[in-house]
Amino acid sequence: MTERRPAWLTRFCKGSPDRLTPVQCACGQWVISERNTIWVSWDPFVLTGRDITIALILHRPLCRVEWDPLLGRAILRTVLEPKPDDHCLCAHECGKPPLGHGQPAMSTVRPVYGVSRGYSPPEINAADLAEFTRIWATPYDQLPEQ
8 A C-beta contact, residue 16 and residue 74: yes
Is 139 a member of any domain? no
Strand order in the sheet with 88-90: 73-78, 62-68, 88-90
8 A C-beta contact, residue 87 and residue 127: no
Q: pTM of the entire structure?
A: 0.60
pLDDT digits (tens, 9 = 90+) for 33-81: 877 777 888 887 888 888 888 888 888 888 888 777 777 777 777 777 7
| Mean pLDDT (whole number) for 104-132 | 68
Instruction: Look at residue 114 in the predicted model and tell me its pLDDT.
Output: 55
Is 36 a member of any domain? yes
Instruction: Look at residue 113 in the predicted model and tell me its pLDDT.
Output: 54
Is 12 a member of any domain? yes
8 A C-beta contact, residue 88 and residue 81: no
Ramachandran region, residue 28 (left: φ > 0; alpha: ψ -120 to 50; beta: rest): left
Between 79-93, 98-112, 126-140, the lowest mean confidence (pLDDT) is in 98-112
Is 110 a member of any domain? no
Q: What angle do CA 43, 45, 48 make, to 5 degrees?
A: 120
Is 119 a member of any domain? no
- Domain holding 80, by residue range, is 7-90
Q: Containing H/E element for 54?
A: helix 50-57
Is 140 a member of any domain? no
Is 98 a member of any domain? no
Is 13 a member of any domain? yes
User: Structural domain tally of the chain?
Assistant: 1
pLDDT band at 94 (very low <50, low <70, confident <90, very high): confident
Q: Is residue 4 scored above 70 in pLDDT?
A: yes
